[in-house]
Structure 1
Amino acid sequence: MEPNSASLSHDSPLHREARDWLLLLTSGRATAADAQGFRSWVAQSVAHARAFAETRLMWERLGAAAANLAQRERAPAVAPRRMSRRAFLGGAVAATAAALLAAQPPFRLWPGISDMAADFRTATGEQRSVQVAPGVTVEMNTQTAFNLHKVDGKLAGIELLDGEIQLQLADGAGDFTVWAAKGSLRAKPGSQCNVRCLGGDVEVTALDGSVSVDYRGRSEALGAAQQASYGAREMTAPVPVDVDQAMAWRRRVLVFDNRPLSYVVAEINRYRPGRLVLTNDALGARMVRARFSLNQLADAATLIREAFGAHVTELPGGIVLLS
């Protein structure tokens, strides 16, 4: 008989195992074998899935806790609202474990289920090169996942689930398609392009050769050093772009040219374990011109404090509040 997860304490053996998995998945060092191990563990029973879902929900509330902490620092006389254990557990048990686990993880502190089940994925801070077919190379940036797309058993392209890639086609390769967020792009032999798919927004940059982008019945042809995007809004017309900046991550460098700090922090969070959280809108609006080596990102909070006079509060799990 399966244990009733509603009767398990949050210090039960299952919850302790769930926390161990959570720590591994947020470490930035999880491997494909770890992902398979997690899938096997969570599939053992509904109780296993619920234990992980409840542990995940506790982390999910960290965002609200961070905001409350920032408010208390600004107005210490105001007491934070507390949520009862009964209400928390009731909400956790009411939802199905499958729906909870399929949801996008808060703060991307661990990979989503779709990412872990992907044919290829990279962990936080990891970059790798994959040759998916003769003459077809996919360079994967941090926190990236994609599936191979086959038609009648033959590789037709890839489906980019999340993250960023650079696609390189040799002169002798055939046309190749990348599907991403309800749109697609087709690259010709000898082409090279960069594709970002973050939060359902897609940005396609043609680096060399010829690339066509299709979205909701509209098609745009991109030449070298041109970019188009689609997602929440209609597809944009091609615009000139700085190719050197688009390729910077391949040199393990991040380049920001007059970008708001909120954008810079969001980008840095893709590369380092844990999370930087801006709690001050005025601070987030400050403009930044900077060049970071990926090797510097562990000290990103210190660099922001020194550059902008930000107040830094460190929380467990690598969470850092910037105000």
Structure 2
Amino acid sequence: MTTPDRDPAALRTEALDWLRRLNSGEATSADAEALDRWRTSSPAHAAEFAKAALFWNVLGDAARRAESDRAGSPSALRSGRQLVRRGFLVGGAALAASAAGALVLRPPLELWPSVAELAADYRTRTGERRQIEIEKLAAIELNTRTSLDQQALADGDVRVELITGEAAVSTHGGADRELVMIAGNGRIASREASFNIRKDGASVGVSCVAGMVTVSCQGREIAIRAGQHVVYGPQGAGDVTSIDPDAVVAWQRGLLVFRRAPLAQVIDEVNRYRPGRVILLDTVLGRRQVVANFRIDRIEDVVDFISKAMGIRTRSLPGGVVLVG
């Protein structure tokens, strides 16, 4: 463990190393506990981590304008799996420690997993996909940076909660009960269907690929069928729209498909698959349309595409941060 009398510059380097580790997409509960020990070893450690973490949160007014508030309702953590101890936010340099603790609980610009994500039953890292089976009810493929909880109910049913991210779900027609999924302030039920569900902050989108899915939000029930899509959130559910199912689930084939998509939307999507953050500084540039396919296993090609094919200036900062515009 680092001693409290270390040079501030050395502590700052170590704090940045912690940020890079958290930002790597491979952070675990053991990393969270090790960071806890490092930060609480002295007031100087806590202060330097707070300064390093706040760096990401103050990249500039333009960056903050480009990043919309995606905070959703926090998922309750089971007490036995709490990753952050009560002592995490106390001790010397209380203000700095509290600031850093808040940044761990709600990471700035989503640069690393939140505590709720780290505590999930199933979680994928940056660029990772994972397939799971929910008893005999469904096969679920988790996309990048996705966290999902499975809960056994008193009546023997199973409920699945999508904490964040995206999943492709196929429910088995032979099951004697529905699969029930919770995401944000809504509920999705399916007995025999294939659908894609995605949660970004408080916004949830459900796309039906085959069969029929029932979406419930704020007392309203909506049945969507193959080729249909609905988005809901704190303000309720929107209208049912048509989608191209092949484009929606292209990620399962390792592709990102954009057809006249605004650059701002492209950047938001790319940020889910690469460590760090690409930040758009110019909202006018964000309206430029993009027609392209990108391979997820070569996601850095998107930054080159923006710079070379679109002729837009890009600047790289530590920790995988790229400024566009």
What displacement does 1:253 show? Answer: 0.6
Check conservation: 1:53, 1:92, Cα contact below 8 A.
Answer: no
Q: Deviation digits for residues 70-129 of structure 1, max 9, x if unmatched? A: xxxxxxxxxxxxxxxxxxx989427366544322x1222111111111111111111111
Q: Which secondary structure does the structure 2 equivalent of 1:62 belong to?
A: coil
Structure 2 Cα separation of the partners of residues 319 and 248 of structure 1: 26
Structure 2 Cα separation of the partners of residues 56 and 154 of structure 1: 44
Structure 2 Cα separation of the partners of residues 312 and 117 of structure 1: 35
Structure 2 Cα separation of the partners of residues 249 and 37 of structure 1: 30
Question: CA RMSD, aligned part only?
Answer: 2.8
Structure 1 Cα separation of the partners of residues 111 and 247 of structure 2: 27
Aligned to 2:203: 201
Q: Deviation digits for residues 3-52 of structure 1, max 9, x if unmatched? A: 99xx9874466x65544332222123x1xxx5121232244487259464
Check conservation: 2:153, 2:159, Cα contact below 8 A.
Answer: no
2:305 pairs with 1:303: yes
Q: Which secondary structure does the structure 1 equivalent of 2:270 belong to?
A: helix
Aligned to 1:178: 181
* Structure 1 alignment gaps of length 5 or more: 68-88
Structure 2 Cα separation of the partners of residues 106 and 136 of structure 1: 34
Structure 2 Cα separation of the partners of residues 196 and 134 of structure 1: 23
Check conservation: 1:150, 1:157, Cα contact below 8 A.
Answer: yes
Name whichever of 138-147 and 49-58 sits farther off: 49-58
Equivalent residue in structure 2 for 1:145, among 144, 147, 161 = 147
Check conservation: 1:57, 1:92, Cα contact below 8 A.
Answer: no
What displacement does 1:151 show? Answer: 1.2
Structure 1 Cα separation of the partners of residues 212 and 303 of structure 2: 40
Which residue type is aligned with residue 169 of structure 1?
T
Aligned to 2:75: none
Check conservation: 1:46, 1:97, Cα contact below 8 A.
Answer: no
Q: Which secondary structure does the structure 2 equivalent of 1:23 belong to?
A: helix
Q: Which secondary structure does the structure 2 equivalent of 1:101 belong to?
A: helix
Equivalent residue in structure 2 for 1:270, among 252, 258, 272 = 272
Aligned to 1:58: 55
Check conservation: 1:141, 1:164, Cα contact below 8 A.
Answer: yes
Aligned to 1:234: 236
Structure 1 Cα separation of the partners of residues 151 and 240 of structure 2: 27
Aligned to 2:18: 21
Q: Which secondary structure does the structure 2 equivalent of 1:55 belong to?
A: helix
TM-score normalised per structure 2 = 0.80
Cα 1:309–1:171 change in 2 (3 A) is same
Name whichever of 267-276 and 145-154 sits farther off: 145-154
Name the count of aligned residue pairs. Answer: 291
Q: Which has the higher contact order (CA 8 A, sep 6+)?
A: 2
Check conservation: 2:53, 2:100, Cα contact below 8 A.
Answer: no
Equivalent residue in structure 2 for 1:37, among 30, 34, 38 = 30
Check conservation: 1:194, 1:206, Cα contact below 8 A.
Answer: yes
Aligned to 1:291: 293
Cα 1:131–1:35 change in 2 (3 A) is same
Check conservation: 2:137, 2:179, Cα contact below 8 A.
Answer: no
What displacement does 1:61 show? Answer: 2.2
Q: Calculate percent identity across the aligned residue pairs.
A: 34
Structure 2 Cα separation of the partners of residues 65 and 90 of structure 1: 30
Aligned to 1:47: 40
Structure 2 Cα separation of the partners of residues 249 and 273 of structure 1: 17
Check conservation: 2:261, 2:291, Cα contact below 8 A.
Answer: yes
Q: Which secondary structure does the structure 1 equivalent of 2:292 belong to?
A: strand
Aligned to 1:131: 133
Which residue type is aligned with residue 36 of structure 1?
S
Structure 2 Cα separation of the partners of residues 306 and 98 of structure 1: 40
Aligned to 2:120: 118
Aligned to 1:220: 222
Structure 1 Cα separation of the partners of residues 268 and 125 of structure 2: 16
Which residue type is aligned with residue 284 of structure 1?
G
